[in-house]
Amino acid sequence: MIEPLLQLMATLRDPEIGCPWDVAQTSASIVPYTLEEAYEVADAVAQGDPDALRDELGDLLLQVVFHARMAEEAGAFTFADVVAAIVAKMVRRHPHVFTTDGDVLPAGAHRQDVDAVARQWEAIKAQERATRPEADARPLGDIAAALPALTRAHKLSTKAAGYGFDWPDASQVVAKVREEIDEVEEAMAAGDPDATREEIGDLLFSVANLARHLGIESEYSLREGNIKFERRFTAMAKLLADEGKPLESSDLPAMEAAWNRVKRAET
């Protein structure tokens, strides 16, 4: 089923008959589109829209094929190599499902619960990393720098915790969050914008750690917070408009009163 898409991309990239825009691209130039498509998949999932999810998965798959086609043209690897590599990795990281040869184990042969599987996965990843030359020099080096900042904070702190560098419980992280708020206020009082920016970063990192300790994905939690804020702001604007008070000409007390009405209505 993938062949028509592979052929389509080969045609688009053909210098003679292809699309000039597609021919001009590099892996670096389409990275923003790859990230955008991944976010749009997440949005479709959040909306619970299967038709949108189907379409967005297609867009994301196109990005994978695009990157693989350019790598093939450069003589680096092919789409088939991408497939073979991920299949081998999944077999290797699921020893409770497959033999080392890729055969499926009998039902219940290595039955494990979800937590045990997650621990096994991380242990196998650690073994893989240990074989890389840079493993000792960069113990957190496999956390992609291009991840959204909150997601990367979660992954960095999770990885560090795997080495034993972590707070014993969430209450101590709450204390750290309060400490970071105090340091933000101190930097503000000193009128130091650089220090304030740095302390805000420390505060956000600590909040991400608190979310991790509570089993909450901070990136998704913030996404939900954004959605809630947008929903309430839109409802607030409608309330004001219904009362003949356009948002643009409403003062802060009027907006706050309408905002509180929206909140009460939701609860």
Q: Find the domain containing 16 and state its range.
A: 3-130
Q: 107: domain CATH number?
A: 1.10.287.1080
Where is the domain boundary, 130, 157, 190?
130
What secondary structure, in 3-state letters, does 163-211 show?
CCCCCCCHHHHHHHHHHHHHHHHHHHHCCCHHHHHHHHHHHHHHHHHHH
On whether both 88 and 110 belong to a single domain, the answer is yes
For residues 53 and 172, membership in a common domain is answered with no
* Total domains present in the chain: 3
Same domain? 28 vs 80:
yes
Residue 29 maps to a domain: yes
Same domain for 227 and 212: no
| 137 occurs within a structural domain | no
Bridge partners, residue 104, by sequence: 98
Q: Which tokens belong to 188?
A: 């503000």
- Check whether residue 30 and residue 106 sit in a common domain: yes
**Has residue 84 been placed in a domain?**
yes
In a domain, 60, yes or no: yes
224 lies in the same domain as 212: no
Same domain for 95 and 19: yes
Residue 110 sits in the same domain as residue 154: no
What is the per-residue pLDDT across 5-18, written as a single tens digit (0 to 9) for each? 999 999 999 999 99
* Chosen domain end from 130, 160, 181: 130
pLDDT at residue 79 in the model: 97
- Domain boundary residue, one of 196, 216, 236: 216
**Residues 19 and 121 grouped into a single domain:** yes
Q: For the chain, how many residues are written?
A: 267
What is the pLDDT tens value at each position of the chain, 267 positions in all? 899 999 999 999 999 999 999 999 999 999 999 999 998 998 899 889 999 999 999 999 999 999 999 999 999 999 999 999 999 999 999 988 898 888 888 887 777 788 888 888 888 887 877 777 655 567 888 788 888 899 999 999 998 998 899 999 999 999 999 999 999 999 999 999 999 999 999 999 999 999 999 999 998 899 889 999 999 999 999 999 999 999 999 999 999 999 999 999 988
Same domain, 126 and 238: no
**CB of 8 within 8 A of CB of 2?**
no
- The verdict on residue 144 lying in a domain is no
For residues 191 and 261, membership in a common domain is answered with no
User: What tens digit of pLDDT does each residue of 126-167 get?
Assistant: 787 777 765 556 788 878 888 889 999 999 999 899 889 999
Q: Are residues 190 and 83 in the same domain?
A: no
What's the CA gap between 197 and 2, in Å, rounded?
47
Q: Is residue 211 part of a domain?
A: yes
Tell me if 136 is assigned to some domain.
no
Cα separations in angstroms, 63 against 58, 100, 151, 203, 242:
9, 31, 22, 35, 45
